[in-house]
Amino acid sequence: QKEVEQDPGPLSVPEGAIVSLNCTYSNSAFQYFMWYRQYSRKGPELLMYTYSSGNKEDGRFTAQVDKSSKYISLFIRDSQPSDSATYLCAMSDQAGTALIFGKGTTLSVSS
């Protein structure tokens, strides 16, 4: 079993839809959880950062962490064609250590 599991998709939705992206993990020591967006031929860009359990909202994006279930989610409301990208979950057990990534989910939003 990989440390971080993420459904690679692809996921196709119409503009305006609510998108749900998920990752599960096996290491209960993970405390820092991140979501990155990666456009084609670009480096990953940090979208959301969460420490421990709970929810965090930033504009159209909401990140949820459920440590008891070892499950994290990213919700995108009112999805736009510009949201079409690969979304990567990432996590670590200590601040300053390297991240462990999921495979990434490819999202396509059609207008």
Partner 1 sequence: SAVISQKPSRDICQRGTSLTIQCQVDSQVTMMFWYRQQPGQSLTLIATANQGSEATYESGFVIDKFPISRPNLTFSTLTVSNMSPEDSSIYLCSVQHGYGYTFGSGTRLTVV
The residues binding partner 1 (CB under 8 A) are 4, 6, 8, 34, 36, 41-46, 49, 88, 90, 95-96, 98-104
- Kindly state the smallest distance separating residue 16's Cβ from partner 1, in Å: 28
- End-to-end Cα distance, the chain: 37
* Closer residue to partner 1 (CB): 20 or 94: 94
Which residue number, 56 or 67, has a Cβ lying nearer to partner 1?
A: 56
Do residues 105 and 45 touch, judged by C-beta distance below 8 A? no
CA distance 38 to 88: 8
Q: Give the shortest CB-77-to-partner 1 separation in angstroms.
A: 22
Which lies closer to partner 1 via its Cβ, residue 14 or residue 96?
Answer: 96
In whole angstroms, the minimum distance from the beta carbon of 84 to partner 1 comes to 18
2/86 Cα distance (integer angstroms): 19
Closest CA to 10 of 18, 2, 21, 1: 21
> Shortest gap between Cβ of 83 and partner 1 (angstroms)?
19
Closest CA to 87 of 28, 46, 29, 50: 46
C-beta closer to partner 1: residue 17 or 92: 92
